[in-house]
Amino acid sequence: MQNAAKPIDADHPDYVSALARGLEVIRAFGEGHERMTVSDLARITGLARATVRRSLLTLHALGYIASDGKYFSLTPSILSLGFSYLGATPLPRIVQPALESLSETLQESCSVSVLDGHEIVYVARSATRRIMSVGLAVGSRLPAYCSSMGRVLLAFQTRAVMDEVLAVTPLLTLTPHTLTDPDKIRSVLHRVRGQGYCLVDQELEIGLMSLAVPVRNASGKVVAAMNISVQAGRMSPADLIAKCLPLLQQAAAGVAPALVN
């Protein structure tokens, strides 16, 4: 089929609206929204109640949704959708041993993420302790504009992609240190691209400092970011760079030859 890989919009004849609406219903579930009624989901998604109901009944028939007749919730089967990505993508399998070795050496939590729209998605992680108020795991999402891995990934995008991401991102003041001015963020991204790493000091959450570097494939293209996260009070930014940057860069460079795509 010609042009099958090209993006299409909602007006394209090949666009399956029912599938899109079903995925929107799935994405509505999350922390604080574990069990919901048809009315709850209609309010959150903006879809008609009848549309939500049809989507829920279809997902229920497929085993992705459970219901007691009033409330609906996701079943563990929904995880198969995410694991399909992890199983079909070599990146997580390739970087996990390097993450575990780095985490063991530094006794700090290390992660790898990819860019998905204006957010980063964790695809591999080795945690030594929980240092954020929100627990992070494979599949977790964070805003790209104020996270170390997000800034690394944005820094190596084209200017057009960078501008688009900043235009659609809610630039929230998460802490007193969070940069929210688009021009200042662009300036930081330019510096990150030049120096090849990014340090974020308590912009995402008070008490959290992280350092990230790009992960390149065998052709030199940036395909992911790798970071280390520490409690801000345990070391200074300069100490974090001096102690951890060389090992972080070494770990990222070590996986590049195996990343052929």
67 and 97 within one domain: no
What CATH number should be reported for the domain holding residue 246?
3.30.450.40
- Does 248 or 84 have the greater pLDDT score? 248
* Final residue in a domain of this structure, among 57, 77, 97: 77
Give me the mean pLDDT over the 149-153 stretch: 97
pLDDT at 64 over 80: yes
67 and 95 within one domain: no
104 and 67 within one domain: no
Position 8 in a domain? no
Cβ neighbours of 259 (radius 10 Å):
18
pLDDT at 193 over 70: yes
Q: Note the pLDDT of residue 4.
A: 44
pLDDT band per the 50, 70, 90 thresholds, residue 196: very high
CA separation for the pair 56, 66 (Å, rounded): 9
Give me the mean pLDDT over the 140-162 stretch: 95
pLDDT at 71 over 60: yes
214 and 190 within one domain: yes
pLDDT at 1 over 70: no
Most confident of 118-127, 134-143, 190-199: 190-199
Position 202 in a domain? yes
115 and 67 within one domain: no
Position 178 in a domain? yes
229 and 141 within one domain: yes
- Does 130 or 63 have the greater pLDDT score? 63
142 and 46 within one domain: no
Position 236 in a domain? yes
pLDDT band per the 50, 70, 90 thresholds, residue 88: low
- Tracing tokens 């991102």 back to the chain, one arrives at 169
168 and 95 within one domain: yes
Q: Note the pLDDT of residue 202.
A: 94
Position 120 in a domain? yes
* Number of domains into which the chain is organized: 2
% of the chain at pLDDT higher than 70: 92
Q: Note the pLDDT of residue 58.
A: 92
190 and 137 within one domain: yes
What CATH number should be reported for the domain holding residue 59?
1.10.10.10
- Does 77 or 176 have the greater pLDDT score? 176
250 and 153 within one domain: yes
What are the structure tokens assigned to 211, written together?
A: 């350092």
Most confident of 44-48, 106-110, 129-133, 146-150: 146-150
Quick one: which of 215, 237, 219, 221 has its CA closest to 149? 215
Position 82 in a domain? no
pLDDT per residue over 216-252, tens digit each?
999 999 999 999 999 988 889 999 999 999 999 999 9
Whole domain around residue 206: which residue ranges? 89-258
* Final residue in a domain of this structure, among 77, 102, 129: 77
165 and 98 within one domain: yes
Cβ neighbours of 163 (radius 10 Å):
13
35 and 140 within one domain: no
Position 2 in a domain? no
Q: Note the pLDDT of residue 129.
A: 63
Position 219 in a domain? yes
DSSP state letters, 216-251: E-TTS-EEEEEEEEEEGGGS-HHHHHHHHHHHHHHH
